[in-house]
A and B are shown apart, each in its own frame.
Chain A
Amino acid sequence: MRPFSYERAHDLASAIRAASHQADAPLHAPIQFLAGGTTLLDLMKIDVMRPDRVIDINPLEKTFSEITVTPMGLRLGALARMSAVAHHPAVEREYPVVSQALKLGASAQLRNMASLGGNVLQRTRCSYFRDTSWHECNKRDPGSGCAALQGLNRKHAILGTSEHCIATYPGDFAQALIALDAAVEIAGAKGNREVPFRTLHKLPGDTPHIETSLATGEIIVSFHIPAGAYARRSLYLKVRDRESYEFASASAAVALDLADGVVREARIALGGVATIPWRAVEAEDVLKGTMLDEVRARVAAEAAFAGARTFGGNDFKPELGRRTLVRALLEAAALEIR
């Protein structure tokens, strides 16, 4: 960790003002916002992030942590803690995929600290990114190369990769958001804007160090999940090497609107396998208007992973991902909805 100055934000506007006008992409900027701290402090201790100034936005928690459930949908303040949302009775009942994705993330201690806004911005677990003694990492040091391409890449992505980066997006909650067509409200120097959540994360392409469409000084203030007939028949399936405190080897967020076994609408997102929160539109299209059974689920899963590319250590992931999606679809179809 390097020396840095710490200040507490008293209002949103001044926090944004302080952090605007930085040249670097937000995740490398010398001024960083601190919410739960579960990613930022970690990365500062291991010298991956080296901000000069840390602005603690937790004093704003009261204003930005509301959980509101209306017939129109679900609004979640960005400073709400993971645990608060995960165990909110209406969220558990009306949006099971949201609650489950949050409950299956991290550990109880981390969930009590981590904010929703920070959660969707959490950074990859790629070992080569997290250890500065590896010189090659385009995400950490643009243009330096990617050690994972030829290195140990069991945990790495198979969807949305580029020749510059194959780091996996590690989160769970974002899969629920993207499956349910959530919007994200962002505050910045020029006021607030609301954009589809799917536009927040950016594919690595040849700029893997630019991970989101956030401009410098911008802060996520809330998420809005529209109501949908599929939301109650939803689940998050996380397949991993141990029972808890472990990132997904493959995961699936699935929401289904079924009528007599026929799919009126399906929403599918995949985790643990892609560089960004991954919406599997091709799989959704395969299912629409069909009877959901084992064979159809398998066809959808094939479609979801048609574009997968593997790198040695993760050669098993397309098959694991397909099986995960098939299992999630069949389990969602079998749910009893009251």
Chain B
Amino acid sequence: MSVQIKANGDMIGRAVPRIDGRLKVTGAACYPSDVVLDDTAHAFLVMSTIARGRISALDLTEAQAVDGVIDILTYENTKGKVHKVRFFALGGYTSTSIVPLDTRKIWHDGQIIAMVVAETFEAAREAAYMIRVDYMERRAVSGLDGRKPQPRAAAGFLSSEPGVGDPETAYQEADVKIDAYYSTPAQHHNAIELYATTCAWSGDQLTVYESSQYVYGLKNGVAKQLGIRPERVRAVSPFVGGAFGSKAAITPRTALVAIAAKRLGRPVKLVATRQQGFTVSSYRAETQHHIKLGADRSGRLTSLSHEGWEISSRADDYKVAGTDTTSLLYACPNVATHVNIVHADRSTPGFMRSPAEVPYMFALESAMDELAVKLRMDPVELRRLNDTQIDPINQKPFSSRSLIACYDRAAAAFGWAKRNPEPGSMQDRDWLIGWGCATACYPTNIGPAEVRVTLAPNGKARVRTAGHDLGTGAYTAIALTAAEFLGIPLEDVNVELGDSSLPPAPVAGGSNATASICNAVAHACEDIRERLARAASHEGALRGVDPAVIRLREGMLVGADKSEPLKSALLRIGFGPVEGHAKYTPEVASVPIKLLGHTLLSKGIPVLTVGTSAGNHVQYAFGAEFVEVRVHKRTREIRVPRLVGAFAAGRIVSPITARSQLLGALIWGVASALHEETEIDERVARYVNKDLADYMIPVSADIRDVEVILVPEEDNKVNALGIKGVGELGNVGTNAAIANAVYHATGRRIRNLPIRMEDLL
């Protein structure tokens, strides 16, 4: 579709409160975990307590005797019932290649080994505690530090191992060098809405109520797992209580709930506990990094090497390979990258907010700060000197890149000029003060999307697409876009999302949703405008006016100083509402996506054009983050009283919800630097801190001043509306900014996250 789309900016960019906010704060929004159907039976999972081995015996006698127990699914009665479906990272649907309840084999701690179904949740839980399991246990390996598993060259998912020039020679010849190792811990999403699923059959028709980032993936994937046609499955997820990547691929629980519901002939509901959630879905695996930087005396980078090690399960080759980003961030003529997967007795990791950038940018942005220190140079000036508008690997231009504008805006707001660069030089009574900064960036991803928009003679519009609002503000951004292009008030737009009976939309991942869906909405509205304009140019007030100049404005058709009410224009071409339909394919998509994108989309297979695959340019959003840390002189508690982030991400459709996303992301960045870590008992490859008391995140008292600055940026190359997406931009680099600030406060360079008081004693 080559329709010219131009936003007037009447509605897009308007600061309006979240349109679904009232529903959420009053409890009227029905999340999938709120769904209670008549005659529902309740399920409770039983998880393995070893990480490697086999089940030698399962004794269900006591559990079956519990009052109210109806059914217990184990490998004995479920083997072969769930078909193996391809891992999502290989173009499939599932979060793991391990088929649930298929064998006695145990791949990881917390693997589902049984599911009890009972009349009540309480009875199911009680019976689950009474199942006796005997194992043949084998020695398990937990990960990178465990028993030195052999690193293995990675198979090619997403990463191309970018490189250019001769980094080794350039490093040898460099005036100033940094050579350091960094690491990040395992982390879990811990969305507040737990992993909940209700399945209900009506004849051979299955409805799945499940908190999801991808209802089309859920529908198609579960259909494949159950061996039924996708048309027989409907996935419903109108609201999502947090996801962060954990609800994108299908977890093993869903098919089991569907099978139980079929066996019993009644709906079955499962709510996995917080503890079980640590292995029901995916997580961010721990990473290690080796960075070598070379620079000349002026600070210009001459050599960059970045090697990463990542954990995956024995079942899958998953990696995030953030070297795609770190290799093109700065102007450097000699670059080498490599990523290794280390297989361990763990569940399969997966997407977690800025999967690649959070760990890999921590390493690079820490190293850049170390380089600035060695050069005795201001870290902002080091970034300025090495900024580039050309991707150094492929020599393609950035579609737009406002990194330095972000640094300047954020530095001014922060008061960076008052910083004394000497470590430990700034104090407030018993507290050492440290100021640090780092770069944030995230690729601009976009995918095909299909949208239907109807406009009724009363001026009310309905937008329908199977997108998702993860709390991100998607409802609001989509409504603003429709209001803009239909020329009607925001409150007259009704948006329906999160249901696979709606037209297909991409996975809500990779921060693509606003760009993909809003462009599709614009096209669907354009479809309506065009039809109304064409008809109006033949008769009525706008007769003879060129349809191309006719616009929808304030409930009217307007053009050439003439106007006509919407109602009469609509009734001219039919009796009821008129429907606009768009199958939007990104302008930057490759030829295969242009040809096959919508077919794959309808099958629930993600087809995104990513930052480095957008034809003649690379597309990224950028930001700069500044933090203040305080470290107590004696006891070394670390606190973060102040964060300032400036971000440029093309056109901002919904400024209030975009700001909220960035605010939350900065706070998450604090967590990623100082708090979050999934603790693993390496002796047995098992997690030990599986609740929100022990898996630490900041509490309100930890967060004081957080300032978000939206830096204006126009980009007409990324897509017609110039949208880049902000969801995953804000928590990139925050961890490095904090580590850099800790160095500034104490003179101690901490290269392993999270940073704890004992690192500074």
Contact = CB atoms under 8 A, between A and B. Distances in A.
Given A2-B129, A127-B688, A320-B635, A241 B756 contact: yes
Main secondary structure of the interface of A (DSSP, over half): loop
A1 interface: yes
Contact of A239 (B681, B699, B701, B757): B757
A131 B688 contact: yes
A125 B702 contact: no
A316 B761 contact: yes
A239 to B, nearest CB: 5
B637 interface: yes
B689 interface: yes
A304 to B, nearest CB: 15
A323 B696 contact: no
B757 A241 contact: yes
Interface string A130-144: 010100000000000
Interface in B625-683: 632, 634-637, 639, 674-675, 679, 681, 683
B129 A245 contact: no
Contact of A244 (B47, B275, B701): B701
A240 B693 contact: no
B681 A324 contact: no
A130 B275 CA distance: 12
Interface residues of B, number: 34
A327 B635 contact: yes
Given A1-B125, A125-B694, A243-B702, A320 B758 contact: yes
Contacts of A240: 637
Interface string A103-126: 000010000000000000000010
B119 interface: no
Nearest to B759: A316
B231 interface: no
A242 interface: yes
Interface in B693-723: 693-694, 696, 698-702
B126 interface: yes
Nearest to B688: A127
A151 B639 contact: no
A1 B122 contact: yes
A133 B128 CA distance: 12
Interface in A285-313: none
Nearest to B702: A243
Contacts of B634: 323-324, 326-327
B699 A243 contact: yes
A141 B734 CA distance: 44
B690 A249 contact: no
Contacts of A147: 681
A239 B694 CA distance: 16
B590 interface: no
B49 interface: yes
Q: Which of B634, B689, B699, B701 has the most CB of A within 10 A?
A: B634
Given A125-B693, A151-B681, A324 B635 contact: yes
B126 A245 contact: no
Contacts of B129: 2, 47
A61 to B, nearest CB: 26
B478 to A, nearest CB: 36
A246 B761 contact: no
A297 to B, nearest CB: 10
Contacts of B683: 150-151
A323 B635 CA distance: 6
A223 interface: no
A109 B757 CA distance: 27
B688 A245 contact: no
A152 interface: yes
Interface in A22-61: 46-47
Contacts of A3: 126
Contact of A245 (B635, B674, B699): B699
Nearest to B703: A243
Contacts of B761: 316, 319-320, 323
Contacts of A249: 757
Contact of B702 (A150, A242, A323, A327): A242
A128 interface: yes
A253 B413 CA distance: 41
B688 A128 contact: yes
Contacts of B694: 125, 127
B161 to A, nearest CB: 35
Contacts of B47: 133
Nearest to B109: A133
A106 to B, nearest CB: 10
A243 B704 CA distance: 11
Interface in B452-486: none
Contacts of A250: 635
Given A242-B699, A323-B761, A327-B634, A131 B126 contact: no
Given A1-B125, A1-B126, A131-B688, A239 B637 contact: yes
Interface string A237-277: 00111111110011000000000000000000000000000
Nearest to A46: B275
B699 A241 contact: no
Interface string B115-138: 000000010011001000000000
Interface in A312-337: 316, 319-320, 323-324, 326-327
A46 B758 CA distance: 31
Nearest to B690: A131
B239 to A, nearest CB: 25
Given A152-B688, A319-B761, 20 more contacts: A1-B126, A47-B129, A131-B275, A133-B49, A152-B679, A240-B637, A241-B674, A242-B698, A242-B699, A242-B701, A244-B700, A245-B701, A246-B696, A249-B757, A316-B757, A320-B636, A320-B761, A324-B634, A324-B635, A327-B632
7 contacts: A46-B275, A131-B275, A131-B690, A239-B637, A241-B756, A242-B699, A324-B634
The 5 tightest CB contacts between A and B, nearest first, are: A316-B758, A243-B701, A133-B49, A244-B701, A127-B688
